[in-house]
Structure 1
Amino acid sequence: MVRYTKEHKLVTRQRIIEKAGHRFKQDGIDGSGISTLMSDAGLTNGAFYAHFTSKDDLVAHVVTDELRSQVAKYGTLRPGRPGLEDLIREYLSPDHRDHPGLGCPSAALLDEIGRCGDGTKQAYTDGARDIVDEVAARLVPEDPKSARGTAIGLFTMLVGTLQLSRAVSDPKFADEVLERGIENALAFMR
């Protein structure tokens, strides 16, 4: 029997989480079985339980990782409101809409997360709060708490707009949804 170092196990676990994040956002949580997830990570099904107690455990870790990564990307934006404007335009872009596996976990998974267990819902709650806090700090850096309501509204507007744009079958209408979403989000944050 081969023994792996603790570091190797952590790297492998992170690879599973990252590959599962992409697959979940692409095919949904319910549409992604353990065998597919492990195959994506280049591992056998038997290796799954060395890293996670259940699929629900994996989902909670994926949600935490995905939202943490999303918040970290905010740090690469220009400071303040100009960075938020950049974020709005990037978030509500055809490229983001057309590649859910590479994008926001909220727009891709929100309906399924609502049906998940407490661990996943708590992971999502913590991550969503971090996103709202980041947006509020960019809206009113001197008093982020005063901008919390606007930050929640902006976050929900972006997620809902992207979901609607992905759901419609008419490409022109889908693009119009994104364009109007950008206009509305920019007006909302002023």
Structure 2
Amino acid sequence: MRYSANHKLETREKLLTSSAVSAKKSGFSTVGVDGLMKAIGLSGAAFYSHFSSKDELFASIVERELCQSLERLGADQDCDRLERCLKHYLSMAHVEHPESGCALPVLGAEIARSDIAVRQEAEVWICRLQERWASILESDSLAWAILSQCIGALVVARMLATPDIQRTVLKSSYDEIGRQIAGRHQPICK
């Protein structure tokens, strides 16, 4: 059977999408190539016509996910949009649905253990997000602090078993970010 000219691209896109969801739900290292391919209805052998290795797939997932995070959290930002992003980021919906949210809280440890190329790629996208926030907040250090606090708060909230305590972590982080920004004589922003 002949496939359309776009079949390989469509299959690669399905594999990236499915693998990203799987990685954000369960971690990337927990699923083998056969499992990743089975999730999109193909055999493990077909994997190598799309990626030379599982590490190459992971690098592509990191690039794609962080690019999407930049689009959601950093594109064309103003203070009101930044505030809405922070509220969504530090929400129970984000805690409960890691597969549809930011990859950093879920994949950060795996990125840290990856080879230098993956870490450098992640660095590019994280720095772009930080630069966008720094331009809004007019502070490089405040942007790094808020970015780090958001990721950390989400990790801690996901580690906890009790929803009330999870909400407390998220609200405390959001309130503290508000105080940090207000300490610069701004509401959530200027």
- Does the alignment reach a TM-score above 0.5? yes
Aligned residue for 1:143? none
AA in 2 matched with 1:136: A
- Residue 4 of structure 1 and its aligned partner are, at CA, apart by 5.0
Q: Indicate if the aligned counterparts of 1:81 and 1:138 stay in contact, CA closer than 8 A.
A: yes
Offset from partner CA, 1:130-165 (integer Å, 9 cap, x none): 21122122223xxxxxx2221111100000000000
Q: What's the CA shift for 1:74?
A: 3.3
The residue that corresponds to 1:112 in the other structure is 110
Aligned partners of 2:67, 2:165: CA distance in 1, in Å? 32
Match of 2:186 in 1: none
Q: Is 2:40 aligned against 1:41?
A: yes
The whole-number CA distance in structure 2 between the counterparts of 1:128 and 1:180 is 24
Q: Structure 2: where are the runs of 5+ without partners?
A: 183-190
Gaps of 5+ in 1: 141-146
Cα separation, 1, equivalents of 2:140 and 2:35: 40
Runs of 4+ in 1 over 3 A off after TM superposition: 1-4, 74-77
The worse-fitting range, judged by mean Cα deviation, of 164-173 and 97-106 is 164-173
Q: Are positions 1:93 and 2:85 aligned together? A: no
Tell me which amino acid in the other structure corresponds to 1:149: S
Aligned to 1:29: 28
**Offset of 1:33 from its aligned partner?**
1.6
Q: Report how far residue 114 of structure 1 moved.
A: 0.8
Distance 2:121 2:165 in 1: 34
Q: 2:128 aligns with which of 127, 130, 153?
A: 130
The DSSP-based 3-state class of the residue aligned with 2:155 is helix
User: Following the alignment from structure 1 to structure 2, what is the Cα–Cα distance between the partners of residues 159 and 75?
Assistant: 15
Task: State the Cα distance separating 1:11 from its structure 2 match.
Answer: 2.2
Q: Is residue 23–residue 101 contact of structure 1 (8 Å, CA) maintained in 2? A: yes
Cα distance in structure 1, aligned partners of 2:74 and 2:126: 16
Deviations along 1:21-72, whole A, 9 cap, x unmatched? 1110000011122122112223221111001111110000000000111111
Q: TM-score, normalised by structure 2?
A: 0.88
- 1:88 touches 1:182 (CA, 8 Å); kept in 2? yes
Q: Give the superposed CA RMSD.
A: 1.8
Q: Is the 8 A contact 2:25 2:99 kept in 1?
A: yes
Residue 53 of structure 1 corresponds to: 52
% identical aligned pairs: 28
State the one-letter code of the partner of 1:107: P
For this pair of structures, how many residues does the alignment match?
Answer: 182
Pairwise CA distance, 1:76: 6.8
TM-score, length basis structure 1? 0.88
